[in-house]
Amino acid sequence: MTMAEPTASGRFGDFGGMYVPETLVPACQELDRAFRDAWGDPAFREELDHLLRTYAGRPSPLTECHRLGEELGCRILFKREDLNHTGSHKINNVLGQALLAKRMGKTRIVAETGAGQHGVASATAAALFGMECVVYMGTVDIERQKLNVFRMQLLGAEVRAAETGSQTLKDAVNEAMRYWVSAVEDTHYCLGSVMGPHPYPWMVREFHRVIGDESREQCAELLDGGVPDYVVACVGGGSNAAGIFAGFADTEAQLIGAEPAGGAAVGRAVPGIVHGSKSYLMQDEWGQVLEAESISAGLDYPGIGPEHAHLAASGRARYEPVTDAEVVEAFQLCSRTEGIIPALESAHALAWIAKMRDEVAGKTILVNMSGRGDKDVNQMMDVLGS
């Protein structure tokens, strides 16, 4: 199986689609045309590639983690997205979308953010391209990620609080969509994950495919042309996982998405429609969307990208939960053994390995180290009572 283009109606199997208010349909259709055109245009690809190399710092290295591997009884390779400019994989997508927005003649971008990584990346791209930037962030997340709020402001973005509902990522998406409905003519919605209406799940995955493509080559070099036994990534909406899975979907490698136990959309396997697509969604008996609960603001989302729902339903990828306590443990273990402080999001992937150490004993595991943990240090000081 490969991770290919969705159907003309934006579907991956039974999932996906374009469930947006009528006002936004023409904008989504325009975006679909513009992305298709740009992605097939060598000049666009070259410009983006140039930015990724000279601005974002790609290719990101592959690091073999000997001490962590020894500790967990397996061979562990990190794809170092934490070393990208702005500290996470998010920059891949925003550079692509900002370049596309510019090509479409838009002058402003609006974005949602959970942990702040996508917001910071969006603010960065907007600064680079001289565009206005509005970022919606849940009030609860603004509190737990103060540093990123200030970074966005330094970068010239306007951070607006999403004060409705659970005041986290889901509500920031609602507010960003409402803003887009009002400003659709000159504003591009720079969605931060492989979710939302078509073409976003496909487009965002393609902008992150570089993670998987680079990893495939780097693994081949290290593993005598082979592929790892497992490819593991954390999953909220699922953008870093989609990017790295895209490089290995057509191989024998097992694909694993580590979900926060309090936000396990696939674990509950109930399909629903929210934020523009049909996918698995945490909801009550009446279809009201439930609030996710995770130690990591970036994974605090009750849904998952539609292509992940398809990969789960078709059996190509497994999505399994890890608890906050397991994540905190993995966060510390990685810091201590590798000198790498992982983002709490990325620590979910490590927590899965630790939890499944019997299954993965002696295997080679590629982990998407999707972001660095600097932003989480304050929060962890509280959690660990230091």
Partner 1 sequence: MTGAVETALRARIDAGGKCLVPYITGGLGDDWLDTLRAVAAAGADVIEIGMPFSDPVMDGPTIQEANDRALDAGVTPQTILDDLRHADIGVPTAVMTYGNIAYHMGFERFANSLAAAGVSGCILPDIPLEEVGEWAAAADEAGVETVMLAAPTAPDERLPLIAERARGFVYGVGLLGITGVRSALAASAVEIAGRLKGVTDKPVLVGVGVGTPEQAVEVSQVSDGVVVGSAVVQRMLDHAGPEGVAALVGEFRAALDEA
Q: Active-site residue numbers?
A: 65, 89
Nearer to partner 1, 27 or 135 (CB): 27
DSSP H or E run through 127: helix 117-129
DSSP H or E run through 40: none
**Candidates 18-26, 69-77, 84-92, 352-360 — which segment interacts with partner 1 by CB under 8 A?**
18-26
* CB-based contact 249:255 (threshold 8 Å): yes
- Looking at 13, 59, 267, 272, which residue binds partner 1 (CB under 8 A)? 272
Q: How far is the CB of 346 from partner 1 (least distance, A)?
A: 28
Q: How far is the CB of 288 from partner 1 (least distance, A)?
A: 4
Q: How far is the CB of 7 from partner 1 (least distance, A)?
A: 12
DSSP conformational letter for 294: -
Q: Do you know the residue count of the chain?
A: 386
Q: How far is the CB of 284 from partner 1 (least distance, A)?
A: 9
- Looking at 1, 4, 26, 377, which residue binds partner 1 (CB under 8 A)? 26
Identify the bridge partners of residue 254 per DSSP, sorted by sequence position. 230
- Looking at 144, 170, 188, 209, which residue binds partner 1 (CB under 8 A)? 170
**Candidates 55-63, 178-186, 219-227, 230-238 — which segment interacts with partner 1 by CB under 8 A?**
178-186
d(CA 4, CA 25): 23
- Looking at 105, 225, 252, 286, which residue binds partner 1 (CB under 8 A)? 286
**Sheet hosting strand 108-113, strand order edge to edge:** 158-162, 132-138, 108-113, 187-189
Burial class (CB within 10 angstroms; exposed 0-12, middle 13-18, buried 19+) of 85:
middle
Helix axes 42-51, 25-39, angle to 10 degrees: 90
DSSP conformational letter for 249: T
Query: Binding to partner 1 by residue 18, rule CB under 8 A?
Result: yes
Query: Binding to partner 1 by residue 17, rule CB under 8 A?
Result: yes
Q: How far is the CB of 21 from partner 1 (least distance, A)?
A: 5
Using CB under 8 A as the criterion, what x/- string covers residues 179-218 for binding partner 1?
--xxxxx---------------------------------
d(CA 11, CA 133): 30
Question: Coil, strand, or helix at residue 80?
Answer: strand
> How does DSSP assign 137-190, residue by residue?
EEHHHHHHTHHHHHHHHHTTPEEEEE-STTSSHHHHHHHHHHHHHHHTTTEEE-
Query: Binding to partner 1 by residue 167, rule CB under 8 A?
Result: no
Query: Binding to partner 1 by residue 104, rule CB under 8 A?
Result: no
Q: How far is the CB of 161 from partner 1 (least distance, A)?
A: 13
- Looking at 107, 164, 251, 332, which residue binds partner 1 (CB under 8 A)? 164
- Residue ranges binding partner 1 (CB under 8 A): 9, 17-27, 164-165, 170-171, 174, 177-178, 181-185, 271-276, 278, 281, 283, 286-289
